[in-house]
């Protein structure tokens, strides 16, 4: 049994924020039906990310398939149907499916769904209990609502790139985006939370609702302590948080340090993440410099932050006296937080990552033993499901229309013949 068994989700989203949301709901047991564009003379059909490669999944014959790794990473445990919502017959079919659904997810531009008769008001009239989630760059209201929103631009507009990257006064300083599309991913996760809350409300009251998720809203919320720093004191004092490289603006020492080079003379680095005064005292013992913890300038974190420019150069010199393994072993023994900086090969070879089952092997229609990153959700009574690999385009059209609508084979054949599905 899965936590969301029996929940039907009609997913008209594509690329990342929406699919990331519905993949999580699918992992939890929901029946997620991914609605995709049929192939046509000017379009290969389907979610755009199917073609966002290389790399592509290698088929059993050793050649590339049409399934990009990007797509595979965001669409497990779903079923795929094709439906041309630009045609009235396709719109009518989606309305039939929406009448049977618990959740409807879309990430079209503001107003597009209304043009198709698939907006919240239209579907609410058909199914008053429906939870309808719209995901856009800027939301359904405001002066930017009609703009297209992309993660990269949102990271810039939403302040993240102003606080990410090396300090402007150091080599390599300047705006830097995060290595993955975090605005998309966080929006997908916030949408997942909102949908489950709305489902709870619908169960109690029979009332559905419209969830308005915006990437920019999420990015602003993600500023977390930096946003709070600015609003609580920075705005009043004219201090705007900036880039701090690998350092933390509120905690010292909490950054990357270079340590002694390896046997081949290559530079090595570790993370030192001292979170409180007790840990700093333990670190000083490990470093053989207990007097630093007794120094009034460094004894408390607030003073270490104020005297960062004095303390950090002292620590940089100390850290270079010992090698990576020596430091990490000593810090772990003293319960001082720290760690290596792993590349992805090292991540997936890590025994902790392996023991936690963060790589999952799937049987795919086009290939055997496809390894993908697993869900991080670990539920003792209702574990996540792992029965449906990322679907081929339209793989489940007949199956879903039969399950949800008891569609007659004759009507399905007619819809296929007319290019509706």
What's the full length of the chain, in residues? 421
Gap between the Cα atoms of 95 and 199, Å rounded: 20
Active-site annotation holder among 31, 119, 184, 212 = 184
Gap between the Cα atoms of 177 and 156, Å rounded: 8
Which helix (H) or strand (E) segment is 391 a member of? none
Gap between the Cα atoms of 33 and 12, Å rounded: 9
Gap between the Cα atoms of 291 and 300, Å rounded: 13
Phi first, then psi, for residue 11 (nearest 5°) are -110, 105
Q: Name the token pair of 309.
A: 């420019």
Local structure of 110: helix, strand or coil: coil
Beta-carbon contacts of residue 23 (< 8 Å; ≥ 6 apart): 32, 74, 75, 76, 77, 78
151 tagged catalytic:
no
CA torsion, ordered 156, 160, 163, 169, to nearest 10 deg: -20
Tally: H helices and E strands in the chain: 19, 13
Gap between the Cα atoms of 10 and 8, Å rounded: 7
Adjacent-strand bridge partners of 82: 36
Phi first, then psi, for residue 255 (nearest 5°) are -165, 180
Please, what is the angle between helix 277-287 and helix 324-333, to 10°?
130
Gap between the Cα atoms of 414 and 112, Å rounded: 27
Spatial contact of 19 and 11, defined as CB atoms under 8 Å apart: yes
User: Which residues are tagged catalytic?
Assistant: 184
């Amino acid at each position: 049994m899965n936590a969301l068994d029996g929940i039907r989700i009609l997913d008209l989203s594509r690329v990342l924020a929406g699919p990331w949301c519905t993949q999580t709901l699918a992992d939890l047991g929901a029946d997620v039906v991914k609605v995709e564009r049929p192939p046509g003379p000017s379009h290969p059909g389907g979610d755009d990310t199917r073609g966002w490669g290389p790399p592509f999944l290698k088929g059993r014959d050793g050649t590339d398939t049409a399934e990009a790794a990007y797509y595979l990473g965001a669409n497990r445990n779903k079923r795929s149907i094709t439906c041309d919502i630009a045609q009235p017959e396709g719109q009518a079919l989606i309305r039939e499916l929406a009448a049977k659904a618990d959740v409807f997810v879309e990430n079209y531009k503001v107003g597009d769904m209304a043009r198709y008769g698939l907006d919240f008001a239209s579907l609410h009239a058909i199914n008053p209990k429906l939870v309808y989630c719209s995901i856009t760059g800027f939301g359904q209201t405001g002066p930017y609502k009609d703009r297209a929103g992309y993660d990269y631009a949102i990271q810039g507009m939403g302040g993240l790139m102003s606080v990410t990257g090396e300090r402007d006064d150091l080599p390599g300083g300047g705006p830097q985006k995060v290595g993955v599309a975090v605005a998309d991913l966080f929006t997908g996760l916030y949408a997942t939370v909102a949908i489950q809350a709305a489902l709870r409300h619908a169960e109690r009251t029979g009332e559905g609702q419209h969830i308005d998720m915006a990437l920019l809203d999420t990015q602003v919320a993600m500023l977390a302590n930096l946003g709070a720093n600015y609003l609580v004191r920075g705005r009043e004092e004219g201090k705007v948080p900036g880039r701090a490289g690998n350092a933390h603006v509120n905690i010292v020492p909490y950054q990357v340090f270079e340590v002694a080079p390896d046997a081949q003379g290559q530079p090595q680095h570790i993370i030192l993440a001292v979170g409180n005064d007790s840990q700093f005292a333990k670190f000083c013992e490990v470093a053989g410099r207990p007097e630093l913890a007794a120094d009034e300038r460094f004894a408390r974190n607030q003073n270490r932050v104020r005297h960062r420019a004095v303390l950090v150069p002292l620590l940089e010199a100390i850290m270079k006296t010992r090698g990576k393994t020596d430091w990490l072993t000593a810090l772990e023994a003293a319960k001082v937080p720290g760690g290596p900086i792993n590349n992805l090969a090292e991540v997936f070879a890590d025994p902790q990552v392996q023991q936690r089952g963060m790589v999952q092997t799937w049987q795919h229609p086009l290939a055997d033993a496809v390894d993908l990153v697993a869900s991080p959700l670990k539920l003792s009574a209702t574990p996540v499901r792992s029965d449906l690999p990322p679907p081929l385009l339209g793989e489940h059209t007949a199956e879903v229309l039969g399950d949800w609508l008891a569609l007659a084979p004759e009507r399905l054949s007619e819809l296929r013949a007319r290019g509706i599905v």
